[in-house]
Structure 1
Amino acid sequence: QSRSLHQYVISRLAVLHRQDGRLAVIPASEILDAACRTPSEAARAVKATVVVEIDVTDIGGRFQVAVDLADSQQILTSDVRVYEAVSPEQVAELVVTLLKGQLDSRVRAAFTRSAPAAPGVDVLLAQALQETPYQQARTAAERFDQAQSLRKAISLYNKAIDAAPDYAAARAGLGEAYLRLYYHTREADLLVLAEKSLERALQGDDTRPGVWISLGMLHTMKGDVTKAQEALKYAIQRDPSGSQAHRELGLAYERAGLRAEAEAEFREGIRLQPDSWANHSDLGRFLAAKGLYEQAAEEFLTTLKQVPDNARALASLGGVYYYLRRWDQAEATLNRAIQINPRSGAALSNMGSLHYYHYRNYAVAADFHARATEAWPRDYRVWYNLGLSREAVPALQPHAAAAYRQAASLLRDELTVDPGNPRSLVRLADCLAVLKDAAGARALIATALEHKPGSEDLRIAAKAEEQSGNRSGALALLQRAFDAGLSISAVEQDSPTLEQLRKDSRYAAMVKAVRAKTDKRRES
């Protein structure tokens, strides 16, 4: 019941930081996450130099509010007031009264002017006594693997903001929820809404790590990795024990092509919070992209211990089992994902790919891929896969180009958000190559190579070159992909596009050299 009161007082005290940069207000989330119960604990955990302790006691229908101001060793000053009815704003004012020896008149005046209107205070007082829309929103947002949970969180955050427009914590949470939902829907308008919400959150409280984490996420999505790293490092500085900032910094490093740094941050996030399903899921995805499928499977299995009903993690695990040639496990895992969420685009698409590449049942593959496009209509990957499977079914061949064109259109939309994303660039190049635009494909590949593409990106670029009739260019890109850590199985199980290339003696020599290097590394 005290959490909302705690959040309110911290939010109000953030005004002091904006007026006097020498004063840094530690966000409530850091205090609560560190489980601090005494001034000395706060001093150790979050490096606080001055700690405010607040105690509110019901004494026969009236409220006794006791406020102590302490350092790590002793209480510096204190005050006790009794109120017939107490509001969070009165508690905040009492704290500032005790702090007056450290505040000049200008700062105190700014604090008074920034006090919210009475209706907002009444709402926040009520929130202190029960579970609030804000708290309900945070609970819903924890399952950001589910679009419906994020939509629920957005609705609840907006309720909290309607009741108290200056509620910085709610605006920060709303911004993050919009960003998470964008991952599901790829609707660019959500990024605009997220940015506006985060701007308002910063105006209300620019000390909150969560705001800076969300800003870092936004910058990563837009490809501005320098700003992303700055925001996320500041969040880590504000909350050294938090794991989310490290996880998002890993994503920013990955987008920048700094893969060793990315992996280090993913693992640091797990060290700080080993029971976070999201930390293990992101590391699993990263390892799978590197071709480290056994390790990736372990991370996804750990994820599923925390959230057994996570269809996205099951879909990813099924995909990893495919690359490990564990066909039965792959099918069973993907069936489980579809059973949990019949509209899991990832699971439906991966099941289609299993039927396409392994079972060679192209009609069944096309059916699964079509269902995936219905579930995820704005995901270019499912449309590309639909084009691939339609090409293999004579009756559906006339409709394959339309699927590729839709994939290309969605990729162009993504490139308006992040113009230099090598992953989007090479995948658009692949679409253009299939659609017989070899010149356009090669221009995109050249641009992608300027932006530190990963091993999987290089494999896709090689496919595009092969599709465009440039065998030598395709082999050169595959060599770069192998040098960057691409597994041979990723090429061996690739689409028919590379079937003729795999028969080329130059490819055979390349694979022999890669295997020799791998064996030598294992021996050493």
Structure 2
Amino acid sequence: MSMVPSSIGPYRIIEGLGSGANGEVYLAEDTRLGRKVAVKTLSALDSKELTEAKRWVLREARAAARLNHPNIASVYDVLESPEGAHIVMEYVCGETLAQRLRDGPLPPAQVLEIAVQLADALAEAHSLGVVHRDLKPGNVIITPKGSVKVLDFGLAQVRAVEPGSTPVRSSRDFTLDGRQIGTPPYMPPEHLMGDPVDVRGDIYSLGVMLFELLTGHRPFQGPDAMALTMAILTQPTPRAGSGNAAVPPALDAIVFRAMSRLPQDRYASAAEMADDLRRATAGPAPSPVVSGRDAVLHAPTVSRDGRRPLPVGRRRRVFSIAGLIVLVGLGVYSAVARGRPPASSASATGPPVVAVLPLATVAGDTQGESLATGIADSLISSLTRVRGLTVISRQATLTYRDRKQDPAAIARELGVTVMVDGALQRSGDRVRVTLSILRPGSKIVSWSNSYDGSLTDLLKLQTEVGEAVVDAFSLALTSEDHQRLQQPPTRNIDALADYSQARTFLDRPDVKDNLDHSIALFLDAVAKDPRFVAAHAGLGAAYWRRYLATHDIVWSDKARDAISEALRLDPSNAAARSSFAVILSDTGRKTEAIEELRKAIAAQPSADEAHQMLGRLLFEAGDQEEGLAELRKAISLRPQYWSHHHNLGMALYKAGRFQEALLPFRRATELQPDQAWSYQMLGTTYHALGQPEQAVSNYLRAIQLGHSKAYSNLGTLYFEQSRFGEAAHAFEEALKIDPRSPVAHRNLGDVYAHLGQQVKARKYYEMAAQLTSDQLKINPRDARTLAMLAVYEAKIGNRRAAGQHISEALAVSPTSGEVLYRKAIVVALAGDGDAAVAALEAALERGYSASFASKDEDLALIRSRPEYRRIMAAAR
């Protein structure tokens, strides 16, 4: 504490009481009224900050002075002096809750008394638009008479902050030296992530305080600020009753709800919380309703196609013996038509984008499940043949087999405007298919019908169902369209049965022996009907799955041959061509893949996923403008699909067009807010733009959603700020989640190298190189992976191998800014400053981030060179 002044205005200083985040507190006497007061004085600031600081504190303190409540320490006065700004507050005798906690937890009955008073104090402040933002045991005093007084409302937030409003975050969310207002153990998750805070932030802080009073310890702990933040954002919210069996269930439930991770799951107001606390004080009462969403935050489960399903309730498929009851998740949906087509198929927001969900079947009916698979597959095939519709691939809808999401959630995740849902019931050799067309945006079932047939008539039934659903879209079909719809996939009923069962097995390749069964059944199907195009394509998909599992090139050759046969039989089959393009691309034959995708689009111009893949491949091949055009075409065909926006953002990011990349990444997070990857890239883009606050906020959001790579980026940001302990913690967390991540190993190596632990650093660099070499066995022509391997080899001193691999990377992608930047690192680590400067200049010209480069310790060799300063200045 600095030297104590003798007086401040009319207040005679008696002694110093302590220091706070923004200044020092003194006990003083008001010489006019003869009473003791507490005077808070701002810390010394430079002249540039002082004027704004005075305005800020005086404005906030004057607003807080409106508070008049027995449980709030009053603000009496605000004044200015040559030394700065001062807030004069009520002086409260007593003991802080922090001091009281030194003796351990308090009795639950006493905690209840304290809790009611605190909730009342917050309710009063919130009713006047004042949010405390730093509620903690050290800011609450218990007077000798047992009353509670909340201190330090003088630096609170004064805004319209009702739940559901959109408070705007400003520089006032930080202390005068740039630190965030608040004390991390008591700060709500949204505050830690840099999001706006409303009254529910104080409710969270109160919940944490009550938990600590009841148990004697805080709910979340960590050895440093980084670990504590991660614990608050990712660990399950604990129950106070688990740490203290004496806590009454009603009080336990109140505290748990107040500490909910999501603001909407907490009490909407402190007054509501106070009411529940009073009921708990009065005696046993029904526990408050507590959302289960915050009880456990699991890492997201990754589905078979790599997407993360939403964490929502499970819906069962129920069928009665007498007949079929179709539960298609309609909820508030109302059937407005039966057997009649809707008035219009076009969505008001864009072209019709259709998803056919897997048909529901009776649990345990394996034959029925196979039939349902075949009918859904045939239906997708029929819709795909119709121009004017964008139809989602069958693989993309497999996640929704068990109807774990409601229709609106499914539509949002897939980016569709229309869904075909339904069920199949089998009784003996009779089959009933019930279908509905749902429009999630309007919450209407716009069409529904049932179709009956026999197993021997299955081909006819499939054709009938396909034509009916196509008719339901009220599209003008040509005679050629009608002719295509009349063509069944096969006329051999046994081949169709084999195919349907094979598809069912292929849907679950994770189950032991399913892949073997699938391959065998597809082979049976093509043997029974050699012209069965879908069976050849399915066989190719099964072979490719086997290749991905074994990396045995024999299976990739078989996959290519099977799909080639499908295309020989039906050159216009866009789905088969797209599958063929995936195989070609993943085995390094990018040029051929591009050609196949062009043919697929010619056959089916509305194939949005083909446009997206073509755009990515063209961009990687150096044709950036055409690549971007294809990516934008994919968005125009399926504007509500987050992945298309994300891929456009990725291309713009790789081109160094960071400001432009922000918009598609933001749009992706709006369309799919529970999807972590776009938050990760939004943070990375802000990082590249030199905006660390926004970068950290988005990295933390991605981590909260379960994205391990965000730990690496967060660690990199801390490393750049010389916060090596926090950087190491972040990198170690990344490695725990993904032990085979080369980047996480390299990052830890960099930390230990900087700390002078060279042996430990080398171990991590060598592991990074080994893991990257393993990745190249799958695609030896991946330029980015080759370039990263070169960097790792350079770090362990293997200059020859590093030079060879960076040359191979440049041969594949000679204009890639990222690859050129890796070359700059490789040659800099080898001691060739001239080559490093030249490579860096080329990388920056092709869009690599100057912000990233300016902080990279691997370029230390050239940082003092005039040429380095020149090209960095030009890049900025």
Q: Is the 8 A contact 1:427 1:460 kept in 2?
A: yes
1:88 aligns with 2:451: no
Name the counterpart of 2:676. Answer: 311
Q: CA RMSD, aligned part only?
A: 4.6
Q: Is the 8 A contact 1:348 1:368 kept in 2?
A: yes
Residue segments in structure 1 that go unaligned for 5+ positions in a row: 14-25, 37-60, 66-81, 138-149, 516-524
Structure 1 residue 203: deviation in Å?
4.9
Structure 1 residue 354: deviation in Å?
1.7
1:353 aligns with 2:707: no
Name the counterpart of 2:800. Answer: 439
Matches within 5 A, 1:313-462: 313-341=678-706, 344-358=707-721, 360-394=722-756, 396-453=757-814, 454-462=816-824
1:505 aligns with 2:866: yes
1:28 aligns with 2:382: yes
Q: Is the 8 A contact 1:482 1:514 kept in 2?
A: yes
Give the distance between the partners of 1:156 and 1:298, measured in 2 at CA: 45
Q: From 628, 633, 642, give the equivalent of 1:263.
A: 628
Give the distance between the partners of 1:12 and 1:314, measured in 2 at CA: 37
Aligned letter for 1:88? L
Q: Is the 8 A contact 1:290 1:456 kept in 2?
A: no
- Highest RCO, 1 vs 2 (Cα 8 Å, sep ≥ 6): 1
Structure 1 residue 446: deviation in Å?
2.8
Structure ID, larger Rg:
2
Matches within 5 A, 1:171-250: 189=551, 200=562, 203=565, 207-250=572-615
SS of the aligned residue for 1:291 comes to: coil
Q: Is the 8 A contact 1:213 1:231 kept in 2?
A: yes
Give the distance between the partners of 1:368 and 1:171, measured in 2 at CA: 47
Structure 1 residue 247: deviation in Å?
1.0
Q: From 665, 676, 682, give the equivalent of 1:300.
A: 665
Structure 1 residue 221: deviation in Å?
2.4
Q: TM-score under structure 2 normalisation?
A: 0.42
Give the distance between the partners of 1:439 and 1:386, measured in 2 at CA: 24
Name the counterpart of 1:39. Answer: none
Structure 1 residue 117: deviation in Å?
4.9
Matched residue count:
426
Q: From 473, 477, 491, give the equivalent of 2:853.
A: 491
Structure 1 residue 202: deviation in Å?
5.8
Return closer, same or farther for 1:328/1:156 CA change in 2, 3 Å cut-off.
farther
Return closer, same or farther for 1:62/1:210 CA change in 2, 3 Å cut-off.
closer
Matches within 5 A, 1:56-205: 87-91=457-461, 114-117=492-495, 120=498, 161=518, 165=522, 166=525, 189=551, 200=562, 203=565
> C-alpha offsets along residues 53-111 of structure 1, whole Å, 9 cap, x if unaligned?
xxxxxxxx99999xxxxxxxxxxxxxxxx96665323457999xxx9xx99xxxx9x96
Return closer, same or farther for 1:296/1:437 CA change in 2, 3 Å cut-off.
same
Identity of aligned residues (%): 27
> C-alpha offsets along residues 15-36 of structure 1, whole Å, 9 cap, x if unaligned?
xxxxxxxxxxx94241478459
Give the distance between the partners of 1:433 and 1:470, measured in 2 at CA: 12
Residue segments in structure 2 that go unaligned for 5+ positions in a row: 1-325, 327-355, 360-370, 391-428, 434-451, 466-479, 526-531
Structure 1 residue 308: deviation in Å?
0.7
Q: Is the 8 A contact 1:160 1:170 kept in 2?
A: no
Pick which of 234-243 and 156-165 moved more: 156-165
Structure 1 residue 484: deviation in Å?
2.1
Q: Is the 8 A contact 1:133 1:156 kept in 2?
A: no
Pick which of 465-474 and 385-394 moved more: 385-394
Tell me which protein shows more strand as a share of its residues: 2
SS of the aligned residue for 2:494 comes to: coil
Give the distance between the partners of 2:737 and 2:543, measured in 1 at CA: 19
Give the distance between the partners of 1:201 and 1:491, measured in 2 at CA: 45
Structure 1 residue 455: deviation in Å?
0.8
> C-alpha offsets along residues 142-184 of structure 1, whole Å, 9 cap, x if unaligned?
xxxxxxxx988x99996995896449769968977998999xx
Structure 1 residue 510: deviation in Å?
2.6
Return closer, same or farther for 1:171/1:385 CA change in 2, 3 Å cut-off.
farther
Q: Is the 8 A contact 2:824 2:837 kept in 1?
A: yes
> C-alpha offsets along residues 371-410 of structure 1, whole Å, 9 cap, x if unaligned?
222322333222222221222234x542211211122112
Name the counterpart of 1:56. Answer: none
Q: Is the 8 A contact 1:174 1:194 kept in 2?
A: no
Q: Is the 8 A contact 2:689 2:849 kept in 1?
A: no
1:465 aligns with 2:827: yes
